[in-house]
């Protein structure tokens, strides 16, 4: 798994590539989100369009990151969910927890 970071109109976008699974993948997201919060970045957008697989640990990490950001007074949103990930979030009723967007422009605008 790899995470690329960029900023678009004051929103920190994390482009996540590969598999988000138990072990390194989920820990990497947690560490990156905490690092961003420590730097004062409170608006975080996870771009999941290039994520090939997410296991239960990965789902748990998305929820944990969402909670951490929210508790710090920030917002964490998701964009470009794969069909499989959208189905997983729907089955687990987490689709109602996360703000999910089809395209990045709309997602970035939603932070203002």
Going from the N-terminus, what domains does the chain have, and what CATH number goes with each? 2-107 (3.30.750.24)
Kindly write down the DSSP assignment for every residue of 12-50, as one continuous string: EEEEEEEEE-TTHHHHHHHHHHHHHHHTT--EEEEEEEE
Confidence band (pLDDT; 50, 70, 90) for 26?
Answer: confident
- What whole-number distance in Å separates Cα of residue 24 and Cα of residue 73? 27
Residue % of the chain over a pLDDT of 90: 90
The pTM score is: 0.95
pLDDT of residue 87: 93
CA gyration radius for the chain?
13
Contacts with 30 (C-beta within 8 Å, 6 or more apart), sequence order: 61, 64, 65, 68
What's the pLDDT tens digit per position in 31-45? 999 999 999 999 999
């Amino acid at each position: 798994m790899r995470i690329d970071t960029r900023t678009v109109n004051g929103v920190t976008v994390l482009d996540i590539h590969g598999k988000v699974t138990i072990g390194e993948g989920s820990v990497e997201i947690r560490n990156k989100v905490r690092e961003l919060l420590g730097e004062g970045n409170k608006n975080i957008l996870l771009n999941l369009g290039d994520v090939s697989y997410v296991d239960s640990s990965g789902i748990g990490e998305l929820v944990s990151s969402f909670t951490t950001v929210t508790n710090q007074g920030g917002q964490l949103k998701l964009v470009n969910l794969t069909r499989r990930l959208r189905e997983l979030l729907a089955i687990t009723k987490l689709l109602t927890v996360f703000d999910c967007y089809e395209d990045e422009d709309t997602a970035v605008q939603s932070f203002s």
